[in-house]
Amino acid sequence: MITLEKAKKALEASEKKAEELKIQVSTVIVDEHGSTIVMSRMDDALIISPDFAKAKAFTAASLKMPTAGLLEYAAENKPYFGVNTLLGGELTTIAGGIPAKKLGKIVGAVGVGGSVDPSQDALCAQEAVAVLEA
């Protein structure tokens, strides 16, 4: 289980990494069911970035895999082709969503959105996941 206190620390780790990268992002921490525990949007982050972050966190939690990894399965002629159209578009293949595990079990996920380079979103999410898994 991810406590509110731990989720807040993870969110801070994501924002610290974003500051190092000189980007503004939104970060969402969800539980294993994809329900939001905490969310933030940094000053000057894109207004739509919380929606990106939530979709990434939800996807990572519900499919139990990083959103970037889903892309190879969602390409045309692959098993998950069109997955991003399910659930009214709540799923995404854009990098920046990473599940958090404890003892091999998914306990939640982090979604980060807002950078023009999704790999930077993923770096921020990795920092938050490291806190959740510690």
Q: Judge whether 44 and 19 are in contact, CB under 8 Å.
A: no
pLDDT of 43 higher than 70: yes
Could you read off the pLDDT of 1-15 as tens digits, one per residue? 899 999 999 999 999
Taking the C-alpha atoms of residue 110 and residue 98, their distance in angstroms, rounded to an integer, is: 5
Taking the C-alpha atoms of residue 36 and residue 31, their distance in angstroms, rounded to an integer, is: 7
What is the domain extent for residue 13?
A: 4-133
Taking the C-alpha atoms of residue 23 and residue 4, their distance in angstroms, rounded to an integer, is: 25
Go through the chain and tell me how many residues it has.
Answer: 134
Q: Judge whether 94 and 101 are in contact, CB under 8 Å.
A: no
User: How confident is the model at residue 103, as a pLDDT?
Assistant: 92
**CATH number of residue 29's parent domain:** 3.30.450.150
Lowest mean per-residue pLDDT among 5-19, 27-41, 61-75: 61-75
State the pLDDT confidence band at 32, using cuts at 50, 70 and 90: very high
Number of domains present in the structure of the chain: 1
Which contiguous run of DSSP H or E holds residue 96?
Answer: none
Taking the C-alpha atoms of residue 98 and residue 57, their distance in angstroms, rounded to an integer, is: 7
User: How confident is the model at residue 84, as a pLDDT?
Assistant: 73
Taking the C-alpha atoms of residue 103 and residue 81, their distance in angstroms, rounded to an integer, is: 31
Instruction: Report the 3 state secondary structure along 61-78.
Output: HHHCCCHHHHHHHHCCCC
Mean pLDDT value across residues 74-87 = 78
Q: Which amino acid is at 38?
A: V
Q: Could you give the percent of the chain with pLDDT greater than 90? A: 80
Q: Which two tokens stand for residue 6?
A: 């731990």
Could you read off the pLDDT of 81-126 as tens digits, one per residue? 878 777 766 888 899 999 999 999 999 999 999 999 999 999 999 9
